[in-house]
Amino acid sequence: MDETLQHIKTPVVAARAIGTRVLRSEDPRLLSGRGVFLADTVLPGELHAAFVRSPVAHARITRIDVSAALALPGVFLAWTGTDVLPHCEGLVGEFAVPGCNATTMPLLATGEVVYVGEPVAVVVAESRYAAEDAAELIEWDFEELPVVVSADAALAGGDVANSQLPDNIGITGGATYGDVELAFEQADQVVSGRYYTGRVSAAPMETRGVIASYEWASGQLRVWSGSQMPHFVRYCLTAYLGFPEQCVEVIAPDTGGGFGQKAHVYVEEMLLPLLSRELDRPVKWVEDRRENLMAGTHAHEQYVDIAYALDDTGRITAVRTDALGDGGAYHAPPWSMAVEPWCAVVMTPTGIYDVPAAEYSYTAVATNKTPIGAYRGVGYMAGTLARECLADDAARALGMSPFDFRRSNVVREFPWTNPQNIVYDEGSWLETIDALEEMVDYTAFLQRQAELRLQGRYLGLGLSCFVESSGESTATSKEHGLGDVYHDTATVRMDPNGTATVTVGLTAQGQGLATTMGQMAADTLGIRVEDITVRMATSTSQAYGSGTVGSRGAVIASGAVARAGGIIREKVRAVAAHMLEASENDIELADGTASVAGAPDAKVAIADVAAAIYFDMTAWPEGFDPTLEATLAYDTARPMFSNGGHAMIVELDPDTGFVRFEKVFSVEDCGTVINPNVVEGQIRGGVVQGIGAAVFEELSYDASGQLLSTTFLDYGLPTMDVAPPFEIRHLETPSAHTASGVKGMGESGLIAAPAAVLNAVNDALTPFGAVLRELPLTPEKVFSAMNGSSAGEAS
Amino acid sequence: MKPPTFSYVAPGSVEEVTRLLASDPDAKIISGGQSLMPLLAMRLAGPSMLVDLKAVNGLARIGIGETEITIGARVTHHDIESSAELASALPLLPFVARFIAHPQIRSRGTLGGSVAHSDPSAEWPTVLLAMDATIDVVGPRGGRSIAVDDFFTGPFTSSMAFDEVLVAVRVPRADRRWAFQEAARKAGDYGLAIVAVTAGVDADGRLHGCRVAVGACVGTTTRLRDVEDAIDGAVPGETLAARAEAVARDSVQPISDIHGSSEYRRRLLGNLVRRAVTDLTNGQ
């Protein structure tokens, strides 16, 4: 990226708050039930929407009659696809690389429904009760069409899942770097496997929801949505519906988790504003759990075929990966079906290993299922599952320990250029392996495992190391062949008493970003973290943000905060220098005081400097501009990568096939740690989500495309009683390109944990001679593997 | 997830409850609401009227008698879990209560509701079947007592008439050993299989009067009479447990669903029966 760009440079700041376990400023509000979430927001005169959703996977609508619904008392409106079509044809989903076939997702289905849960009609009534009563009265007839419910069936062709994609191909492509063919020809050994991720939901604790309030007199539209990308939603309200952007405000209230599911633009977000304008009343829709499991984006489902060419010393000489994603019925905008298979093979195609040649291909096919969307660690989870589980297969084939196999292949020298010619500036990849081996005390574990096996108890140790691009940025996008531009702004304002208010363009869904941004601002300004109030992007009327996605929050927002704060910092230093009759270059800001380097007695409180800037012109140097507020943007100069790994000990119950999680060991290197509490919380949450995806969670469809897991009874989220204790170690290899050297880590737990689980279970299964490669590891699969039956391998 | 329209009454007597039920075949009793409310919210049930038991006095008592224990229909799972009297008189009941759902649900859900709902995946039907309980119901024609063996007639169906209300469950206070096994993936989940066993023990250590009940993996809570026959008169131990496992596997045709096939559940049930027969030691 162009080094002359100003918005990629951040000032260096002294660490005071950074690195300390500052308690989360959000918690008094959130933990005492004082958060204000979307459903808590009640507007005067609000009406309630309910959707009629398709009960069948694929059909042609032949008749819809809303008259009975409209006749019900308390019902204000009932719309079908034909009512919406004049306003908007639908949301276009595509990925800007060759080989992508776009889809248009109608706001309400017209003609064809393509998955169970697709909205067919909407009713607005005085209460959600009345709206649901009316929704039941909408009569519609349909002719069922053939369904495509598996990726293999979609690829085989014939039946078409969505008439917009006659070949069922959403996207396909690939690339080769180095002489892969020769490496496989000359390999002493080839190991390969096909790994299946399963289909899961991000299942945020708070479901989706939208409130829209249009004021005809002013032309102002306000939309509440727990979106991870409120500015993008606002942009779409203009681009798709024509609301003037300056008249649109998108408000993101307290939000109970997003994990990528809320990093999309949804048809409901476009429909509600139209309904509010039509009815001249605020309209609210709070998604229920059944809707969320059906119509919130699904995640992951892909098959990854992977092969390593190995030489006789155990070195990987080439890797081939082919990812086949079951994309569901549409591209979910803006990320599209590419979000899984493209990302799985294109991003970090060799993992942490120094593999000279790599070949990859990716295909996402359409099926009559809910569209696949983003979920924490998009694609990386599947890619890491394949690379890290095949690493264990290779280690077993070579008779090496999983630690030794990884050590013999890991990248040791930085900067390192990968086969795609992408430069990785720094990392602690080898150190991660060493740290994990020491933390688990591998020799002692092997002894305990052997002893317990004699008693009929089956322990397994699984290892998974990862590298992830951190901080979704313009540079990361460009290096991987895309043209997306990402930058965010922050506004920092210092008040007359020396305290500060910081506004950032990112929304928060519970991560503690307000706390960490406060720490960054405190050190930039040299004041106490308690003297800073941080406002996350609760409204698009404040700072600009490209979205809380891709492990970018801490990186991008902290960069913008440091840049904007840096402007204020320089002003404070200039006035302090004038007040202390010292050189500006000698002024240091820390602990609420401006002092002169080398002269400890020459100091002035930053509060006094701020007061002087507001009230005492005699303190100003000549030509001083007293604006104590700055808004600046930030983007990272180069692609950046965080790394780490997890080791997990599990025990299998031979009577039930249940997997018990004994302990997790996590190593994380996200550069400079802003707040260890926050980082450790992210690790714990992400790893437990990974345990869920690996063992407990599964969105099941039957052969007719009916979704069978529509409640938490049938969709098994992990709970505290199955969450293991953690031992976490931080390695710190700072980036040279970010404020204080921070790197992103929000996704790493889920990226790498499922591979660790699968490896641990397969290690435990060693005495039974069975290897599993398909998630989730249901009791039945594990039981079958322990009892010599192949039933568990069926997919 | 909002229920459809229904009328609601909270009468003050059992007689009034049965009169209301008799007057409207689509009426439904609500007690703790922990099964019914989700069904209503998902519109899987649409009763015309809900008859709430909350104003009926005398249904929330636990009575410890000399020969039997009487538990009122509105006694909650939490009441049972935390009852000191039950802990000493019949510890199987508080032991099992802990397996039911989550604390919030246990504080509202009632024993009577669970039995009347007759969900084969619920813990109480299986346990009461193993304990040879008696269910007291009252209808417009008066009260009657139903032996638990005659109570559960199918999935979510019982031998209660639509206009009868369950008022109490009586459990004999016999000197019997017991064991309870539930394979649930997480605390609070429905079990993939549930097994409850009670048995008397002779002076020479032989089991007699064995009752082995199974839930969750079958459509109807049921006794495994083949297993009972196989262990009756024998001395508990590893050999007997293994025999019980083998017999149990052959004595049921388990259900199949997204959580496990019939064949998996057959093996699982066998293993739980083995575990239960092995630890017929009152949960020690």
Instruction: Name every chain B residue with its beta carbon within 8 A of the beta carbon of A714.
Output: 258-259
* Whether the Cβ atoms of residue A217 and residue A338 lie closer than 8 Å to each other: no
Residues 680-709, chain A, touching B (beta carbon < 8 A)? 696, 698, 700, 708-709
The residue out of B149, B172, B195 marking a domain boundary is: B172
CB nearest B260 (choices: A136, A716, A780): A780
Cβ <8 Å between A784 and B264: yes
Looking at the structure, tell me whether residues B186 and B156 fall in a common domain: no
Alpha helix locations (H) across A40-86? 67-71, 81-84
CB-CB neighbors (< 8 A) of B259 in chain A: 714, 778
**B207: domain CATH number?**
3.30.390.50
Summary mean pLDDT of chain B: 96
- Kindly state whether residues A676 and A615 are assigned to the same domain: no
Picking from B126, B142, B172, the residue at the C-terminal end of a domain is B172
Statement to judge: residues B158 and B194 lie in one domain:
no
Which tokens hold the place of A113?
A: 């429904």
Q: Do A441 and A575 reside in the same domain of the chain?
A: no
> Between A132, A709, A719, which is nearest B187 by CB?
A719
**Which pLDDT belongs to residue A789?**
64
ipTM of the complex: 0.96
Q: Which residues of chain A have pLDDT under 50?
A: 790-795
Q: Does A778 touch chain B (CB under 8 A)?
A: yes
What angle separates helix A402-409 from helix A429-440, to the nearest 10 degrees? 170
Distance of CA A81 to the CA centre of its chain: 31
Q: State how far the Cα of B133 lies from the Cα of A339, in Å rounded to an integer.
A: 57
Angle between helices A402-409 and A380-398 in degrees, nearest 10: 110
Residue B27 lies in a domain: no
CATH code of the domain containing B67: 3.30.465.10
pLDDT on residue A792: 39
Compute the residue count for chain B.
284
Q: Answer yes or no: is A500 within a domain.
A: yes
Instruction: Give domain status of residue B241, yes or no.
Output: yes
- Count the domains in chain A: 2
Q: Helices H, strands E: what count in chain B?
A: 11, 14
- For residue A217, tell me if it sits in a domain: no
Closest chain B CA to residue A51: B1
Domain encompassing residue A441: 410-470+638-795
Longest dimension (CA), chain A: 87
Does B196 fall in a domain? yes
Q: Let me know whether A669 and A736 are in one domain.
A: yes
Contact B264 A780 (CB under 8 A): yes
Whether A240 is covered by a domain: the verdict is: no
**pLDDT confidence band for B282 (50 / 70 / 90):** low
Same domain? B185 vs B220: yes
A508 and A549 in one domain?
yes
- Substitution target in A291, A780, A783, A786 with the highest count of B β-carbons within 10 Å is A780
Contact residues of B toward A, CB < 8 A: 1-5, 38, 42-43, 183, 185-190, 192, 258-261, 263-264, 267-268, 271-272, 274-275
Classify residue A525: in a domain, yes or no.
yes
Out of A129, A656, A700, closest to residue B268 by CB: A656
Six-digit token string for B280: 């017929």
A787 shares a domain with A642? yes
A712 at the B interface (CB within 8 A)? no
Residues A557 and A681 placed together within one structural domain of the fold: no
Candidates A292, A293, A655, A721, partner chain B, best to mutate (most B CBs within 10 A): A655
In a domain, B137, yes or no: yes
A230 is a domain residue:
no
Q: How far is B213 from chain A (nearest CA, A)?
A: 19
Chain-chain contact of A714 with B188 (C-beta, under 8 angstroms): no
A655 and A750, same structural domain? yes
Residue B38's Cβ-count burial label (10 Å; 0-12, 13-18, 19+) is middle
- Distance (Å, rounded) from C-alpha A543 to C-alpha A536? 9
| B131 part of a folded domain | yes
Identify whether A366 is part of a domain.
Answer: no
Contacts of A199 (CB under 8 A, 6+ apart): A298, A299, A300, A301, A326, A369, A698, A699, A701
B150 shares a domain with B79? yes
Amino acid identity of residue A484, one-letter, is D
| Domain boundaries, position B186 | 177-278
Q: How far is A603 from chain B (nearest CA, A)?
A: 58
Task: Give the domain-ending residue among B172, B187, B212.
Answer: B172
Number of domains in chain B: 2
Note whether residue A311 is domain-resident: no
pLDDT of residue A539: 82
Question: Are both A602 and A734 inside the same structural domain?
Answer: no
Q: Residue A722: its chain B contacts at CB < 8 A?
A: 185-186
Q: Is residue A738 included in any domain, yes or no?
A: yes
Among A618, A634, A650, the domain boundary falls at A634
Among A634, A663, A682, which residue terminates a domain?
A634
Chain B environment of A290 (Cβ under 8 Å): 1, 42
Task: Sort strands A248-251 and A220-225 into parallel, antiparallel or unpaired.
Answer: parallel
Tell me: do A652 and A709 sit in the same domain: yes
Q: Are residues A577 and A501 in the same domain?
A: yes
A776 and A651 in one domain? yes
Question: Would residue B98 count as lying in a domain?
Answer: yes
Q: Which of A634, A650, A677 is a domain's end point?
A: A634
Query: Is B7 part of a structural domain of the chain?
Result: no
B67 and B168 in a single domain? The answer is: yes
Which of A137, A207, A656, A696 is the best residue to mutate to test the B interface, defined by the most B CB atoms within 10 Å of its own CB?
Answer: A656
Beta strand spans in chain B (E): 7-9, 27-30, 49-52, 62-64, 68-72, 134-139, 142-147, 152-154, 157-158, 165-172, 177-183, 193-201, 207-215, 222-223
Shared-domain flag, residues B202 and B232: yes
Domain match, B71 and B133 both? yes
Task: Strands of A266-342 (E only): list them.
Answer: 283-286, 298-299, 302-310, 316-326
The closest of A165, A282, A269, A230 to A549, measured between CA atoms, is A230
Asked whether residue A448 falls in the same domain as residue A570, the answer is no
Q: What is the CATH number of the domain that holds A550?
A: 3.30.365.10
User: Please, which residues have CB within 8 angstroms of residue A365's CB and are 6 or more apart in sequence?
Assistant: A151, A154, A155, A161, A168, A169, A170, A324, A325, A326, A327
